[in-house]
Amino acid sequence: MRIEESYQGTHGRPLWLVLGSIAALLAVALVIYTTYGVYTIVRTTVAEMTNLPSIEILKEQAGLSSFLPAPTQAAGGEIAPTVQAGEGTPPPTTEPLLQKRINILLLGIDQRPGETGPFRTDSMIVVTIDPESGALGMLSIPRDLWVPIPGYGENRINTAHFLGDLHKYPGGGPALAKKTVSYNFGFPVHYYVRVNFEGFRRLIDMIGGIDIDVPHEIRDDQYPDENYGYDPLYIPAGRIHMDGDLALKYARTRKADNDFERARRQQQIILAVRDKVLSLNLLPSLIPKIPELLRTLSDSIQTDIPMDELIMLARLARDLNTENIKTAVIDETMTVPQTTPTGAYVLLPIREKIRPVVEDLFLSPLPTVAPKR
């Protein structure tokens, strides 16, 4: 069934920018695993962001004691990491990185037309790749997770990118977002890929759209348009062919279920993009064009992955088997919802529930995958 024509007609980016996020390796490599759309965020003011209560107060209000570790103050007021030395940031090495596991943070930024930043991230997925076995894992992190941000106190995890750009942190928002994820989850983040809405649409359309198995119908009469009005959305259950606009709406809508299920839909889109690229045997022709693609999409997609490693990752994608990919979402079983005194909604992480998931994805061997012939 093809229904993308029913949902075209959006001229320019919506003001409630949600991002489609591309994902794992940029350009082609990106196109391969890639693309995950993001949900709408109700933007809070900077004053609210900086005056939210401490994690200890929220823990007491929730009646819980086990969370990801709270920060401790180091000399000079810097928040000392709670992970062991060397865990938060990968150590310098002359060994080619593709000989060992690689963790890439995918960031979807809340960028509106004409804005230049700073931006919050509406979506965060960490992709872990084991070049030796050809295995892949994905972890979706909810934007409202309440965590320590190194050097800036506690806040929602999606604020790290905003603060990094706002305060000109070395490496900007992506660097502070990488450090925050490493700091709180205890594994290194080697690279990032950052994408905005336009990049999402262009990449999906560049490969001719994707096919998605929609498990149940989606009806959202209040899906936002670019003028703060509504653009009613209906997607029937079944196998649906989606262009960039419809794929974004599928990942973005909030009415069908909840944020955690939306995160799973985003992972579904990433795998659908990879399947499309591999099914059409596009890799051989796309790999030589990676530098050109990056230049073309530079206004929508940024990464710190070196070009030589990006090309190697794209080639590696041919040997990945989606049947053996591990995926996980930090969901309602691992968090406690809490409302701050200022009325902000946050999620308190439950450490003993999150730790086994992190260890399974990032600290234990991924399943061995037989190369595809």
Residue 358 pLDDT exceeds 60: yes
Write down the pLDDT at residue 61.
Answer: 46
Q: What is the pLDDT of residues 247-287, one digit of tens each?
A: 888 887 777 666 677 778 877 887 788 778 767 666 666 66
Q: What is the pLDDT of residues 20-75, one digit of tens each?
A: 233 333 333 333 333 322 222 222 223 333 334 444 544 444 444 444 444 433 33
Cβ neighbours of 63 (radius 10 Å) = 7
Long-range CB pairs of 76-84, under 8 A, 24+ apart, other chains included: 78/150, 78/151, 79/148, 79/149, 79/150, 79/151, 79/152, 79/153, 81/150, 81/183, 82/148, 82/183, 82/184, 83/182, 83/183, 83/186, 84/186
Q: How far are the Cα atoms of 178, 193, 359 from residue 100, in angstroms, in the given order?
A: 19, 19, 17
pTM of this prediction?
0.66
Q: What is the pLDDT of residues 59-69, one digit of tens each?
A: 444 444 444 44
Among the ranges given (23-37, 100-114, 326-340), the one the predictor scored with the smallest mean pLDDT: 23-37
How much of the chain, in percent, has pLDDT values that exceed 90?
29
CATH topology (fold) of 4-363: Aminopeptidase (3.40.630)
**Pairing outcome for strands 191-195 and 36-37:** unpaired
